[in-house]
Amino acid sequence: MLAPNLSRDSYPHDYRTYGAKVEPMSNEAIPSQTIEASASVAAPATHSMKWSAQDTTWMLSLFGTAVGAGILFLPINAGMGGFWPLVVMALLIGPMTYLAHRGLSRFVCSSSIAGSDITQVVEEHFGKGAGKAITVLYFFAIYPIVLIYGVGITNVVDSFIVNQLGMESLPRWLLSGVLILGMMSVMVSGEKMMLKVTQFLVYPLVAILAFMSLYLMPNWNLAAVTEVPSAGEFLGTIWLTIPVLIFAFNHSPAISQFAVSLKREHGANASRKADIILRNTAMMLVGFVMLFVFSCVLSLTPAQLAEAKSQNLPILSYLANVFDSGFVSYFGPFIAFVAIVSSFFGHYMGASEGMRGLIVRQLEGQGKAVNEAKINRFILAFMFLTIWAVAVINPSILGMIEALGGPIIAAILYLMPMYAVYRVPALKAYRGRISNIFVIIAGVLSMTAILYGLAA
């Protein structure tokens, strides 16, 4: 999700023209040697490095991008392993989230070409072949998440109709089609409409999520605190839960535009500014999300968490079904609905941009003319039909997270920026740091956990 109060003019190019060549923002490109986050002797920034209202907007926007299906399903997978593994996960996910997103942001900021997004930066540093490969990976890292939101929004509304309203389920093909069409219509209506809707959603979402966490506290069952698994089970639970943790705190779809915007506003100090905003975003995510996760996990038994997983429901929809509380019954599904919708917009934009980049690069490589109108219509039809079909099929959302989104997100978010640090001269200032090893280990553990889960 993009920053709610940013105007169209604040972006280097309109998202509907993704894939087209980006003209420099000025007559003088920023030398790659100067784009280093730690460079204190950098070109003067156009804005103060002090915290501003715009920084708060970006922090909330990145938070909103991460508050989606992953967070709503995180308590299920993370909580089934017990309380103490969850404590260790809470200690690990903050540094993991901050350092990984910081690395991706620094990678985008390392470009010497003004206004270049992540796929263009890859092409600049690694060549056209790698640029095409990363564009493909970037699309397939985000596209499965968009499919997940189609399944999630349908299940949330269907559960609300049956359990809270006491009505019969609507035909799944009809319900999913209407919901997906409604979310996509906001995107089709234009960027201004999307920004208005996201602004309306993200701010109350933060407050309601915090209130729900506190509201569930009287229902906590602290018996789980006394249960300590064996060392093997303890480590195994943490290892196998890392992919869902990465997915739940992932806001990488917004990082490219975030970095491009900061480069324009702060020049060579963009990376330093991004580091501050990303650090505060990670702290906010860990504070609000892990409080919510602990509150949900301590309010339910492992058997109930397993039942929620088998029903393919977000944790809040399940809470609404088992708690005899009007507040939980109605606000639980509402939070789930708003969280999915607020994240859908940013991920849909990223997926459509990725697909547009693939099509445009293919056409240009063949020497064919690029017809933006036809490309836009194709992408719109492809997105709607595939999201709708998957929502009707209703596959396991947690299974989709682990099998499709997890490994590619880990590769792009955790491993690629670290590879670039030791390959790209503009990033040489970040070499030899312990944090790089930590990020690489987290990325490798995520990918091996996914492969193990698929093979088991």
Structure confidence by residue, pLDDT tens digits, 416-429: 999 999 998 989 99
Give residue 205's pLDDT band: very low, low, confident or very high (50, 70, 90): confident
Q: What is the pLDDT of residue 195?
A: 62
Q: What is the pLDDT of residue 70?
A: 61
Half-sphere exposure of 438 (CA within 13 A, CB side): 13
Q: Which two tokens stand for residue 184?
A: 């996509």
Give pLDDT tens digits for 256-304: 878 888 888 888 888 899 999 999 999 988 988 899 889 988 888 878 8
Cα-Cα-Cα-Cα torsion 16, 12, 364, 352, nearest 10 degrees, comes to -30
Q: What is the pLDDT of residue 45?
A: 44
Give pLDDT tens digits for 370-383: 888 899 899 999 99
Give residue 7's pLDDT band: very low, low, confident or very high (50, 70, 90): very low
Contact 409, 170 (CB under 8 A): no
Q: Round to whole Å and give the CA distance between 263 and 68.
A: 27
Q: Round to whole Å and give the CA distance between 270 and 125.
A: 19
Overall average pLDDT of the 432-449 stretch? 92
As a whole-number percent, the residues of the chain with pLDDT over 90 amount to: 22
Give residue 362's pLDDT band: very low, low, confident or very high (50, 70, 90): confident
Q: Round to whole Å and give the CA distance between 67 and 206.
A: 9
Domains, the chain, in order of start with CATH, read 49-455 (1.20.1740.10)
Q: Which one of 58-72, 133-147, 417-431 scores highest in mean pLDDT? A: 417-431
Overall average pLDDT of the 208-216 stretch? 85
Residue 346 has pLDDT above 80, yes or no: no
Overall average pLDDT of the 356-360 stretch? 83
How long a stretch of residues is the chain? 456
In terms of Cα–Cα distance, which of 146, 119, 358 is closest to 256? 119
Q: Other CB atoms closer than 10 Å to residue 166's CB: what's the count?
A: 7
Give pLDDT tens digits for 11-59: 334 433 333 444 444 434 334 444 343 333 344 444 567 888 778 878 8
Residue 203 has pLDDT above 50, yes or no: yes
